[in-house]
Amino acid sequence: MAVEQTDAQLVSRCRAGDPDAWNEFVERFSRYVYAICGRGFRLSQQDAEDVFQEVFARAFERLSELRSDDAVRPWLAQLTRRLCIDRLRLIARDTPSDAEPDEREVDDVLAQLDDAMAVRAALDKVGDPCREILDRFFCRDESYRTIGDMLEIPAGTIASRISRCLEKVRTELDGRSRASRPS
Amino acid sequence: MNGFDEEQIGRLLRLLPPAPEGWVRAAQELPAARAALDELVARAEQDAAFRLQLRADLERAVAAAGYEPSPFIVSRLRQLLEAV
């Protein structure tokens, strides 16, 4: 299994100026920020790109202001949310509409994305080849044939591999859930 | 957050597709962009002609100075120039 680094450890390395840490930070949270822009606020690609870059620019500049390194994910979510709202208000100023989404809907999407990030962390812990197979199938929407070709494994075995990998992720999630439960 | 079955795990994974590679790369290059920005700001503070070039056509002046006019550099320089 892959060695997993907590969010707090990663933030701490970023603050210490570790040159690889920022790359890992962007890698870890890019999907999350992208999903908030797209699923939470339904921004166009152009607007989502602007917000995405601004989120990471501000995160880079203000990481030292974060009170608790553990709280980086909610901090990023809040930052992204605020910048998405600003962007929608700017759009509405130029093209009046009722573009601003319902707050409760956004809260629901963010809660789902938090669950998705927990699953993602479990998948990272399980590591390759499961990570790559499940990522290609579920996140990149690739066919069995494409996955088989790319990973040089028979396409006919992909379905059973996906099933086994999902089982491993579930076991990892169950283990985490047991570990975090008070005894 | 626990007790997900395999179907739910698949559904949740689908919620997090990768961000476009170019966006991720640009965000990863922020430390280098920050260093370039600091150099550009220092030059603008010392060189009145460069400041005029920046005000006239910011992106062209940045490129002419040998830096990539990334959205981060352009937006931060614009903010600084507006504040002066």
Predicted confidence at residue A33, as pLDDT, reads 97
Predicted confidence at residue A99, as pLDDT, reads 61
The structure tokens listed for B13 are 């994974």
User: What three-state secondary structure class fits A179?
Assistant: helix
Q: Mean of the pLDDT values across residues B47-73? A: 91
Sequence-separated contacts (24+) of B55-63 with Cβ below 8 Å: B55/B81
d(C-alpha B52, C-alpha B58), whole Å: 9
With beta carbons less than 8 A apart as the criterion, state whether A54 and B42 touch: no
Q: Give, to the nearest 10 degrees, the angle between helix A19-35 and helix A45-62.
A: 140
- Under an 8 A CB cutoff, do B1 and A33 touch? no
Average pLDDT along chain B: 89
The DSSP H or E segment spanning A112 is: helix A103-126
d(C-alpha A11, C-alpha A24), whole Å: 10
Predicted confidence at residue A137, as pLDDT, reads 94
Mean pLDDT by 10 residues, chain A (183 residues): 77 87 94 95 92 93 85 94 92 70 85 92 91 93 91 89 93 81 61
* Domain assignments of chain B as residue spans, ordered by start: 37-84
Question: What's the pLDDT tens digit per position in B68-81?
Answer: 898 888 988 888 88
pTM for this one?
0.83
Q: What is the ipTM of this complex?
A: 0.83
Domains and CATH numbers, chain A: 1-126 (1.10.1740.10), 127-183 (1.10.10)
Nearest to B23 among A22, A49, A166 (CB): A49
Nearest to A34 among B2, B4, B19 (CB): B19
Residue ranges of A 80-119 with Cβ closer than 8 A to chain B: 112-119
